[in-house]
Every structure is written in C-alpha cells, then in structure tokens.
Chain A
Amino acid sequence: MSADRRPEPNPFARRGPSRRGVLGLAALTGAGLLAGCARERPSSGLTAGGGGSGSPTLTAASPSSPVRWPILEGNAPIAAGLAPEKDATLQLYNYVDYINPDVIKSFEKKYEDTGVKVVVSTFNDTNESLAKIRAGGSPYDVYFPSYDQIGKLATAGLVRPLQHAYIPNITNVWPQFTDPWYDQGWQYTVPYVTYTTGIGWRSDRVNEDIGARANPYDVFWDPQYAGRLAVLDDYREVISMAILRAGGTDINTGDDAVLGKVREDLAAMAKATRPQVTITDYIAIPEGKLDISQAWSGDMIAAQGYLPKGTDASVLRYWFPADGKGMVNNDLMMILSGGKNPVLAHLFLNHLLDDEVARENFTFVGYQPPLNSLDPSRLVADGYAPQGLAAATVLPSYFESGYRSLELTPEAEGKWQDTWTRFKAGA
C-alpha cells in the first residue's frame, strides 16, 4: 500500500472552497446595520426571576446557581403523539457550515411521506440572529444558539418548551446535558455540540511545541511570531484568554482591576505581534496563510478538510490545557415559538440526537457531539482526528474542570465591550 494514501477515506476530505468564509465576508457589508434597523418587539414590562418593580431584569444561570426558566402562559409544549405537518418547509437557523447537508437529506428521506423540505438560513453571530428572531417575520423552526441566550429567549417567550415524548434519543447524550444548569429539566434545549478554546497551528510552519511552553498563551505576545498569528474575533474568547494567561480563573468578572490589566496586556499584544482578529482560522491555518491562531477545537478538526492537496493532516496541532482548566462550551438546539412546524421540529431534534446521524454531522462540522457512544479516548484511533489534534477531543470532565462563559451582568458587559472596542481600535 502506498504511503501517501490513507487506508480509509478521511472523513474530513477536502471540501473545496469554503462557503463559510465567502459568505461571512459578504455579510460584513450590512448585516449589522440591518440588525440595528430591524423593528424589535419592545421588551419593557418583561420580568424574569428577581425582577423588581417594573424594571426588567434577567437571571443569569451558572453551574453554582442552576436555573429553571419560567414557561409563559400560552407557550405550553405541544401535545404528544401529533402527526407531523404535511408538505411543510422546516426552517433551520444556524451558523454557516455548521450542519452537514447529508443529515438534512436523510431527515427529508426519513419523513418523505410528509413531503417535508428543509431550508437553512444562516447568521454570523448570535447578536444578529437574536435581533432577527425578535423582529419576527421569519418563521424559523429550529435555532442553534449558545446557552447564554436562553434567558432572553425564554423570558420573551420566543422559544417553545419541548415535549419530551418526541425526543427519546436524548438518552444518547452525556447525562449532564439532560438536566443542565442553564436549563434545568431541559425544558427548552437539547445539546448540539461541544468545544474547547485553545491554540491551533501547523507543525511544519512553527518550529516549537507551543503546548510545551510554561504558559502556552504567551505565544500571542512573542515577537518572533509578529504578523503570523491571529486571535478569534470574539470578545469573550480573547478577553478570557488574557485573564487566564495572567493567572485568573474568573472569566465572567466585572472587576476593574482585572479588566484594566487585560487592557494593558491586549495593548501589549497588539504592539508585540500585530495579531489578526478573525474567525477564518479553520481555513487559514491549514492553507498556511496563518501560522498560529487562537482556535475552537471543532474548527481545528474541521481544518483537515481544508488542507492543500498533498499536505498530510498530521501537521495540524491543537493545544488545550491537559488538566482541562481552559475555556469549554457547548451549543444547543431550540425550537422557536415563531415556527410553523413544531412537530417536525421536535422530530428534527430527535433525528440529530440519533447516534449515526450525530456522528455523520460530526465528520462535516468538526464539532464533537456529546454522545455516550462516542468514546472520546478513541477519537484518534477511530480516525476522526490525527494524533496532533488529540487535544481537540472534548472530555465530559472538562465541563467540571473548565471555565464557562456565562451571561455577564449589564455593568460587566459594558466594561467587556469597552475593553474590546479599545483593543480593536488599536489604541
């Protein structure tokens, strides 16, 4: 057998030009302003747990204070045992390239007799999507957000409570997601995928093992890599990284001293290495356009699909603290109240929690589903990732040891955004 051919086809075989990258750029042109102009439902008068006299407030969930979100009157779960909608168009609302088209096809095939068609609409970031959902007008059925939005969505009645009878496959996922702190009793959410935030690079372009440094985050401040590295275009990730590098552990802080130090450190980083601020690392690293980037684990696994012809996946590297003391997260699936096909939406959630389907989806998006049957210690052996990306595996224990980005208080949120704008302004 020739050495340059893998015995089995790589599940992440090259995909061709990325749609995510191009669409992302196109959307830069005006998405933000549109979101700003959208007529939004006034939320005044809303109160949720702890809401005082008239001024709306929002409970923030955290592992130490789990939250069971209220179910608003008139927003009850649908009855069990209903027939799926006929000739419906099921509308998904997701990030670009964040679902495998094949699992959509297999859903359409499975429910062929109902005549269902699935269409995917995409957003760039959850701020944009939230504005659009609130504006109404687009009857999205299934939405793929992060857990820091549940409070807002449930409080405003924008998300539909789940009827568990339709989702027997929930038993396939890690038990911590069937009663998570951010949604006690999984009233509104099922888990989609998990990921960590670390550092990605190509070993043939960087002559050191970044993970072997005493403090691997220091690499972003190392002038020898000036102009060759990037941080994620995400204020939570970059500021949290600076906090962790400085030895902090609270990545949801509003402490002025901590954030002041972050400001100084980020300014020093901009000066020392002029990092790009981008989320195209999953293409730029494999293509050799960037040497080192702060990276989400799933993006580095997906990067295998973007390597140039003739470059072996063994050159890809990912670092995440071996003790699990890094940033760890999971994304969700929800059913929106504005959708027209609640039964099919439930069936779709159940479809994506199916073992086979979730694995097939994994091979496309690169983000690991929290399946019981997917043994994290065997991801490399089973060919999902090369040895160099072993650290991109997400272990259930990370959700105990790792740090999670929670919803910030309004004061802290303002300080974080101020810090971010200051960094992005290059001042």
Chain B
Amino acid sequence: MSGTAPRDRRRGLLGVALTLPGAAWLAVFFLVPLYVVVSISTGTVDPVFRSVVPAWNPADWRGDQFGYVLSRLTGPDGFFGPVMVRTVVYVLLAVAGCLVVAYPVAWFVARHSGRRRGLVLALIVAPFWISYMMRMLAWVNLLADDGLVNRLLGGAGLVADPVTFLSGRPTTVVLGLVYGYVPYMILPMYAALDRISPALLEAARDLGAGRFETFRRVVLPMSVPGVLAGLVLVALPMTGDYFTNDLLSASPSTAMLGNLINTSVANPSQAGQAGALVLILVLAMAAPMLLYVRSSVRSDLAS
C-alpha cells in the first residue's frame, strides 16, 4: 500500500510534464492570438492613421464593432446576410459532395485494398505534399478557357464554345471545396470503417441479413463517429475558406464569409469588423465542435 503512493505521485508528475508542451503550444499559438483578435475587435480606430488601436485592457473593450456587424447581418442594411446564406449553402453542398465521394473510397480502402492498403492510403495523402494554393492554381490552368478540360470537352464534341468555369460560377467554387477537403473526410471515415470487426459482418450474414441489411443495420451505425468526425473536420475549415473562391472565381457574386473577413482585414480601419466577424464565426463553429468532441469521447469510452 505505502509503496504505491509515491509511484502514483510520480506518474502524476509525469502526466503534467507530458501535458506541458501541448499546453504551452495552445497558450502561445491559440490563446494569445485569440486575445489579440478580441482586443482588435473591441478596440478603437486611430484618427490619423485610421488603423485599429487594440484595447488590451478588458476594461476598455467596446462593443461597437459587434453592433456594426450584427446590424449588417439583418435589417435594411444587411448586406452581410446574403453572404452568410451563401456560405452555409456552399458548405452544405460541398460537405454533401465530400460525403458522397469519401464514403465509398473509405470503404474500399478499409475492406478491399488488401495488400495495397498502404499504397492506396499514401496516394490519398499524397495531395498534402503539395500546398493547397498550388493545387488550386493547377485547377485554374485546367479549367481555363483554353485549358485541358475545355480542350477535352471540345474535342469530344460535348460543347461548342469553351465553358467559362472560372467566371464566378458557384458550381466551380463548390467543386473546388469538395476537391480541396475530401482527404480530411476520407481518413477519419477509413479509421472508423477499419475498426469494424469482419466477424460482426459475418455474424450479420449468418443471422440472415442481406448485403443491404448488413450495411444499414451494422456498418452504417458503427461508422457514425467517423462520419461525424469527417463532417466536422471538413465543414469547419470550409466555412472560413477564402482562398478557393479567390482563385477559382475572384468574383463578388460567389463571395463567402472568409472573403468578407479578408476584405475587412485588408482595410486597416475595418480590422475591428474582421475581428468581430471572426469571433462570431468561432462561436458559431464551437457548437458543432463540442458536439464532435462529446461524441468522440463517448465512442472512446464505449470501445
């Protein structure tokens, strides 16, 4: 009895020591920047330089910027409203697209890739070796009026004139989002599907379930945590994405929330609005994030 207590204490200390780097990382690269954003969004504007003067002291925080942003969300001057609606619609469509593409791929990798599983996984991760910007620039070239896609379509006699993919079309932006984020969806789904024991599937078949019944009553429910993780992992960054839009459209007619924040940040006097928009986005995203964390903790406890 008496011998276990010091060991426990030592293990506790070890636990603290192991948590330290992570905690320090979070403090320096998350909490401090978040505080800067809060201070900027609650600050004032310098009358000469018209740049934001952050309010470092919480006693000086002002809610003007939040009031401005909220008044632009609804009401007669609500030109932020359409952007929000557009963002939600694009993200829902793109997430649905990711789901449709990722589920079969994850299933294939988990169940049917056999000895080549390592290779297939490596291929799925391969795009990460190239920066997101370069991959989008590649699409710009492929989708240009005289790009490969149009030459193939024209050559096959499918279109008479080149399709102007890059001319501010919502479809191009949504497909760009699907392309850019689909690996983040495949990996957690693969992990979830891979964890389903083949014995369970065999048992379901033995008990008389057909292929579809097996999928519906065994595979699908057991893959829910992976699907949820994938949904959250792609939906969160998509909502703040501005780059896809900038490169594949650059037109205000497809502007998303991220573009709005980017425009505001570029104007020093509007940095406060940008900060307020960011914080509103963070709050809005916190709900699904918490849901995800709760569900993953629960599934960990269950298994």
Contact = CB atoms under 8 A, between A and B. Distances in A.
Interface of A: 25-26, 28-29, 32-33, 35-37, 40, 42-44, 46, 48, 55-58, 125, 127, 130-131, 134, 152, 155-156, 226-228, 230, 235, 270-271, 274-278, 288-289, 410, 413-414, 417, 420-427
Contacts of A25: 133, 137, 247
Interface string B39-54: 0100000111111110
Given A28-B243, A32-B266, A152-B49, A424 B260 contact: yes
A29 B255 CA distance: 17
Nearest to B250: A276
A58 B47 CA distance: 9
B146 interface: yes
Contact of A55 (B47, B146, B264): B47
B124 interface: no
Nearest to B263: A424
B164 A228 contact: yes
Interface of B: 36, 40, 46-53, 79-83, 86, 133, 137, 144-146, 164, 166-169, 243, 246-247, 249-255, 259-260, 262-271, 274-275
Contacts of B48: 43, 46, 48, 56-58, 152, 155-156
29 contacts: A28-B262, A32-B265, A36-B40, A36-B271, A36-B275, A40-B46, A55-B47, A56-B48, A127-B266, A134-B49, A152-B48, A227-B167, A227-B169, A235-B267, A270-B253, A275-B251, A275-B252, A276-B250, A410-B47, A410-B50, A414-B269, A417-B267, A421-B79, A421-B264, A421-B270, A425-B80, A426-B82, A426-B86, A426-B255
Contacts of A271: 253
Nearest to A229: B167
Nearest to B273: A421
A36 B83 contact: no
A288 B145 contact: yes
Given A55-B47, A420-B263, A270 B251 contact: yes
Contacts of A424: 252, 255, 259-260, 263
Contacts of B86: 426
B257 to A, nearest CB: 9
Contact of A36 (B246, B254, B263, B265): B265
A255 B265 CA distance: 25
A423 B251 CA distance: 10
A388 B262 CA distance: 36
B281 to A, nearest CB: 14
Contacts of A289: 144-145, 166
B80 A426 contact: no
A46 B49 CA distance: 11
Instruction: With a 10 A CB-CB cut-off, give which of B137, B252, B275 has the most chain A CB atoms.
Output: B252
Contacts of B145: 288-289
B36 A37 contact: yes
